[in-house]
């Protein structure tokens, strides 16, 4: 027998209002700045003592030809010169809150591309925020390495014993602690990489959801074709379009890797859309047996030239996704000012018949309330986060989230004209967003 649900007159009256709210799109909520801290752009860490001597300097490949003299390349946009001594402690592209004002953060691949990052070591960190002093304090750094030769292709440090990994090997963009180790999402493969607590690679898993192999043009297995020759059919991930976000279920048993950019649809000769909307695939992966699931969800972008910056679950199936444009700074000094920097609330259980996620609510990172003037860049009570790449978001408590930028050191200029961006960490009070239905 099918139970009959009786609706009160009030409930029936509210149904059209709820439907209208869904049809009008996600609801916007206010974010209030609660804390602000900075790791200065010019922050460096020495290479491990047993790393090859070349890693005592970095950035030598960031010009048209290699440069072996310190500070020989001058950048008038920032006033900085490179190569640098040591390894820049910068470019954070993934975050998890560890409690007690401590955070796990992942350093990006180096200098933004495979070709210029062979002297940038891959690493992740545990950092502590001193909110009162407004500064971030590195407490532990772990360098990635492959001494057991698990990486299935030649790496930069192939002939060494330690086999430290570099930004020419992987583009590390997302990280999750699982068991006694970590899973890291990469963009070049795209691959998922499991490492132990010391950064040693345990395995490198190719992207193969539902049994269909997906590669990017940066994958070492992909040979550049002759002119007029099509790429192999499995080359569908965009360059710099791999696993920018990767959430972990509350029970730690399922990862949800999310691509930064749409897959190429060879049938249409264009990036993938669903009902005219550009979408990003979100796959399912089981760390315990390193197995891809068959279910794929799709995150809908507001515009075809947008990308996501990070994705973390905040409780149950509810999660936060950073969506951004490619602009930075303001029209006062930028030719391409920031115009769209948002964090959306989604629920993995709320999708349409075609698997497209519903956007429930959002906050605008270009319009953050700062009534107490916590940040020195606040103007008329409004604080902005106008960076080209904002790649870190996680829940800290029931009312608060942490957000941080990837400063692309030494290139991004989003906060002040003529100055390389710092690594900024902010706590935002967003109780209404987190409670939105």
Per-residue DSSP letters for 131-184?
A: TTTTEEEEEEEEE-B-TT--SSS--TTTTSSS-B-BTTT--EEEEEEETTEEEE
Residue 20, domain member (yes or no): no
Residue 108, domain member (yes or no): yes
Give Cβ neighbours of residue 326 (< 8 Å, ≥ 6 apart).
305, 307, 336, 388
Per-residue DSSP letters for 32-88?
A: EEEEEEEE-SS-EEPPPTTS-GGGGEE-TTSSSS---STT-EEETTTTEEESEESEE
Residue (of 389, 378, 376, 383) closest to 341 by Cα position: 389
CATH code, domain carrying 359 = 2.120.10
For residues 306, 125, 188, 406, the Cα torsion angle rounded to the nearest 10 degrees is 30
How distant, in Å, are the alpha carbons of 11, 106, 281, 425 from that of 404?
A: 41, 11, 24, 5
Residue (of 44, 67, 85, 53) closest to 157 by Cα position: 53
Strand partners, 425: 37, 404
Residue 9, domain member (yes or no): no
Q: How far apart are CA 50 and CA 164, in angstroms?
A: 10
Residue 124, domain member (yes or no): yes
Residue (of 279, 245, 282) closest to 265 by Cα position: 279
Residue 14, domain member (yes or no): no
The secondary structure of the chain in percent helix, strand, coil, rounded to multiples of 5, reads 5, 40, 50
Residue (of 417, 329, 391, 396) closest to 90 by Cα position: 391
Residue 325, domain member (yes or no): yes
Domain count, the chain: 1
Residue 10, domain member (yes or no): no
User: Residues of 320-347 as b/e, b for ≥16 C-beta within 10 angstroms?
Assistant: bbbbbbebbbbeeebeebbebbbbbbbb
pLDDT in tens for each of the 437 residues of the chain?
333 333 334 333 443 444 444 457 999 999 999 999 999 999 999 999 999 999 999 999 999 999 999 999 999 999 999 999 999 998 999 999 999 999 999 999 999 999 999 999 999 999 999 999 999 999 999 999 999 999 999 999 999 999 999 999 999 999 999 999 999 999 999 999 999 999 999 999 999 999 999 999 999 999 888 998 888 899 999 999 999 999 999 999 999 999 999 999 988 899 999 999 999 999 999 999 999 999 999 999 999 999 999 999 999 999 999 999 999 999 999 999 999 999 999 999 999 989 999 999 999 999 999 999 999 999 999 999 999 999 999 999 999 999 999 999 999 999 999 999 999 999 999 999 999 99
Q: What are the backbone angles phi and psi of residue 317, rounded to the nearest 5°?
A: -100, 10
Residue 50, domain member (yes or no): yes
Distinct helix (H) and strand (E) counts, the chain = 2, 36
Strand partners, 203: 194
Domain containing residue 289: 25-435
Q: What is the pTM of this model?
A: 0.93
Q: How far apart are CA 31 and CA 47, in angstroms?
A: 39
């Amino acid at each position: 027998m099918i139970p009959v649900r009786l609706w009160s007159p009030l409930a029936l009256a509210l149904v059209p209002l709820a439907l209208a709210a869904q049809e009008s799109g996600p609801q916007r909520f206010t974010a209030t700045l609660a804390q602000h801290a900075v790791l200065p752009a010019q922050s460096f860490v020495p290479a491990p003592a047993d790393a090859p001597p070349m890693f005592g300097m970095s950035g030598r490949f960031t010009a048209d030809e290699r440069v072996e003299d310190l500070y020989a390349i001058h950048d008038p946009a920032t006033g900085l010169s490179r190569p640098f001594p040591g390894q820049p402690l910068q470019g954070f592209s993934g975050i998890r809150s560890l409690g007690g004002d401590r955070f796990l953060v992942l350093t990006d691949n180096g200098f933004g591309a495979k070709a210029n990052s062979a002297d940038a070591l891959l690493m992740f960190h545990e950092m502590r925020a001193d909110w009162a002093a407004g500064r971030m304090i590195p407490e532990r750094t772990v360098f990635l390495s492959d001494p057991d030769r698990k990486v299935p292709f030649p790496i930069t440090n192939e002939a060494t014993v330690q086999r430290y990994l570099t930004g020419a090997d992987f583009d590390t963009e997302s990280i999750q602690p699982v068991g006694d180790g970590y899973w890291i999402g990469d963009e070049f493969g795209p691959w998922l990489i499991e490492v132990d607590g010391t950064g040693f690679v345990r395995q490198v898993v190719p992207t193969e959801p539902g049994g269909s192999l997906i590669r990017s043009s940066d994958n070492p297995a992909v040979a550049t074709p002759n002119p007029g020759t099509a790429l192999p059919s499995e080359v569908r991930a965009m360059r710099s379009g791999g696993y920018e976000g990767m959430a972990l279920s509350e029970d730690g048993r399922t990862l949800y890797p999310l691509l930064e950019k749409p897959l190429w649809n060879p049938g249409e000769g264009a990036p993938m859309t669903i009902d005219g909307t550009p979408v990003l695939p979100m796959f399912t992966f089981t760390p315990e047996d390193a197995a891809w699931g068959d279910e794929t969800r799709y995150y809908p972008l507001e515009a075809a030239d947008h990308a996501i910056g990070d994705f973390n679950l905040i409780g149950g199936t509810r999660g936060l996704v950073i969506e951004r444009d490619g602009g930075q700074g303001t029209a006062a000094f930028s030719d391409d000012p920031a115009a769209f920097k948002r964090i959306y609330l989604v629920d993995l259980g709320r999708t349409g018949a075609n698997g497209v996620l519903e956007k429930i609510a959002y906050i605008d990172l270009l319009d953050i309330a700062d009534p107490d003037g916590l940040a020195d860049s606040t103007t008329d009570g409004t604080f902005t986060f106008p960076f080209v790449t904002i790649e870190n978001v996680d829940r800290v408590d029931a009312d608060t989230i942490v957000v941080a930028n990837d400063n692309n050191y030494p290139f991004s200029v989003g906060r002040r004209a003529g100055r390389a961006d710092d690594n900024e960490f902010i706590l935002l009070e967003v109780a209404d967003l987190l409670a939105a239905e």
